[in-house]
Chain A
Amino acid sequence: AQSVAQPEDQVNVAEGNPLTVKCTYSVSGNPYLFWYVQYPNRGLQFLLKYITGDNLVKGSYGFEAEFNKSQTSFHLKKPSALVSDSALYFCAVSSGSSNTGKLIFGQGTTLQVKP
């Protein structure tokens, strides 16, 4: 069965410092991996995705993510955090063997960036 784990409920980082939000996955077949962000009382916004190719994927708002097949991970990163990055972040996966476009989501990680 497909699954996604975000091992940290909350990540705290000081503004200007690098940030990492962790994600590991389990899927049969080739994984398609996604990161979304949710600001308070809003829907989810797409940040970036990995389908194939370069393991380092760049996305919106200066975020990037690194796909690591051997560790089945897809961690979200940003070199210098902003207070405005504070939000809830979700990792999601679908399988290349699926034609439905269904995503399996992690439980979410709250990112708190302090001035």
Chain B
Amino acid sequence: DVKVTQSSRYLVKRTGEKVFLECVQDMDHENMFWYRQDPGLGLRLIYFSYDVKMKEKGDIPEGYSVSREKKERFSLILESASTNQTSMYLCASSTPYRGLNEQYFGPGTRLTVT
């Protein structure tokens, strides 16, 4: 069974802290994605990666960075957390064949920044 795991289900951080969100997939997928989910706004893409050490900005990359040193792991970094980054963060992975393949999602990390 396919699996995407995220390091924490719930996380509480203080303003200004550096925050790491980790995502691991066991399906040997090339593509990995980070989204944030906010009520009424759906899912918005923060960053995605189509290969190791490769990344591209999504729709809302400001205040975030990413790292992909190994194929199975994709990290989202909040360099200096702010209260407007309080949200649900979802990681996903897929194979790259011309967008035909569905994305598989992790359970999400609910981040609260106080």
Contact = CB atoms under 8 A, between A and B. Distances in A.
Interface of A: 9, 32, 34, 36, 41-46, 49, 51, 90, 94-96, 98-103, 105-108
A43 B102 contact: no
Contact of B105 (A32, A44, A100, A102): A44
Contacts, number: 72
B43 A105 contact: yes
Contact of B50 (A9, A51, A95, A100): A100
A90 B42 contact: yes
Nearest to B45: A102
Contacts of B96: 99-101
- Report which residue of B48, B95, B102, B103 has the largest number of chain A beta carbons within 10 angstroms of its beta carbon: B102
Contacts of B44: 105
A99 B95 CA distance: 10
Interface string B36-56: 000011111100101000001
A34 B43 CA distance: 14
Contact of A46 (B41, B95, B99, B102): B102
A58 to B, nearest CB: 15
A29 to B, nearest CB: 10
A57 B45 CA distance: 26
Interface of B: 4, 9, 31, 33, 35, 40-45, 48, 50, 56, 58, 90, 92, 94-108, 110
B108 A102 contact: no
Contacts of A32: 99-100
B50 A105 contact: no
A84 B94 CA distance: 28
A46 B31 CA distance: 17
A107 B40 CA distance: 6
B108 A96 contact: no
17 contacts: A42-B107, A42-B108, A43-B4, A43-B90, A45-B105, A46-B104, A94-B99, A96-B99, A98-B99, A100-B31, A100-B50, A101-B95, A101-B98, A101-B99, A102-B33, A102-B45, A107-B42
